[in-house]
A and B are shown apart, each in its own frame.
Chain A
Amino acid sequence: MTTIDPPFDAGLQPERTLLAWRRTGLSIGVGGLLFIRFAIPELGPVAVGLGILGLVLAAIAYVDAARRYRRAHAHLTGGRVHPSPAVPVMLVAASVAVFAVACGIWLGVAA
């Protein structure tokens, strides 16, 4: 992220989007840790597996956001169109949906 060229936008939109991905990645990671902490009594190794999966996803989202930020910056300052964020967007959405179902299964077992 050590770009010395001027930003694409005075409002720092690409930078703010990078930071939004970071806090979302961190939130997913915390969610994975909390799931391990609270679902172990009922789900055991399944809880650990799902939690670790969440942590891995969070790490990938965090790192990939930096790569995509550099790419977006290069495209936008180079007069090219903004690259589609659809693949990571869909992956994160699908993962959180799966996580929601896992929470539902946990609730069913715990209640």
Chain B
Amino acid sequence: MTEAGRRDDRVDGTHRFPAWVYRDGAEPDPRFSLANERTFLAWVRTALALLAGGVGLEALKIPSLDGPRLAASAALLVLGLLAVVQGWIGWARTERSLRLARAIPGPTLGVVIAVGVLVAAGLVVIGSLL
């Protein structure tokens, strides 16, 4: 454990979970940690919105060809799963970076999700025009 890590334990008296996030570095400004927590929650709501979109397309039988609509539905559900994975990994990696005073990691899966939503939207539009 680093010197900074030991200092933290003297303030807190307990080891925080998960250890791989809290083991190294110095205590960051708590406001940044709180912002990081809210970013995770925003990803959770994004995931829920993607899942609702995926289920809604098929459950409400949005007027569109069956094939493209089903593909768009499936894509949105996969993207919802990716969004929540991004939320968790992003929270942990960002918290660790804050402690180490390193650059905050970008949303790794963000590009995949953005392109995926674009493709799903394109499928719905094409399916409804054909």
Which residues in A have some Cβ–Cβ distance to B below 8 Å? 8-9, 11, 13-14, 16-17, 20-21, 23-24, 27-28, 31, 34-35, 38-39, 72, 76, 79-87, 89-90, 92-93, 96-97, 99-101, 103-104, 106-107, 110-111
Nearest Cβ distance between residue A95 and chain B, in whole angstroms? 9
Proximity string of chain B (18-48) to chain A, C-beta cutoff 8 Å, 1 when within and 0 when not: 1001100001001101110110111011011
| Residue B59 lies at the interface, judged by CB distance under 8 Å to chain A | yes
Q: Assuming A24-B44, A81-B12, A93-B44, what are 13 further A-B pairs, CB within 8 angstroms? A: A9-B31, A17-B37, A17-B41, A23-B45, A31-B48, A81-B16, A82-B27, A93-B40, A96-B48, A101-B81, A103-B55, A107-B55, A107-B77
Question: Which residues of A have CB within 8 Å of B40?
Answer: 89, 93
Question: Which residues of A have CB within 8 Å of B37?
Answer: 17, 20, 85, 89
- Can you pick out 5 interface pairs between chain A and chain B where the beta carbons lie within 8 Å of each other? A79-B11, A81-B27, A84-B21, A100-B51, A100-B84
The answer to whether B73 and A107 have CB atoms under 8 Å apart is yes
> What does DSSP make chain B's interface, helix, strand, loop or mixed?
helix
For B, the interface residue count at a CB cutoff of 8 angstroms equals: 43
Select from chain A the residue with minimum beta-carbon distance to B27. Answer: A81
Alpha-carbon separation in the docked complex, A106 to B18 (Å): 34
Tally of A-B residue pairs with Cβ under 8 A?
119
| Residue B70 lies at the interface, judged by CB distance under 8 Å to chain A | yes
Question: Which residues of A have CB within 8 Å of B85?
Answer: 93, 97
> What does DSSP make chain A's interface, helix, strand, loop or mixed?
helix
Question: Which residues of A have CB within 8 Å of B45?
Answer: 23-24, 27
The answer to whether B34 and A16 have CB atoms under 8 Å apart is yes
Question: Which residues of B have CB within 8 Å of A31?
Answer: 48, 51-52
The answer to whether A76 and B52 have CB atoms under 8 Å apart is no
Select from chain B the residue with minimum beta-carbon distance to A9. Answer: B31
Question: Which residues of B have CB within 8 Å of A11?
Answer: 31
Question: Which residues of A have CB within 8 Å of B80?
Answer: 96, 100, 103
Alpha-carbon separation in the docked complex, A42 to B8 (Å): 52
Contact among B21, B30, B87 with A86 in the assembled complex (CB-CB below 8 Å): B21
Alpha-carbon separation in the docked complex, A96 to B44 (Å): 7
Alpha-carbon separation in the docked complex, A96 to B59 (Å): 19
Alpha-carbon separation in the docked complex, A14 to B35 (Å): 9
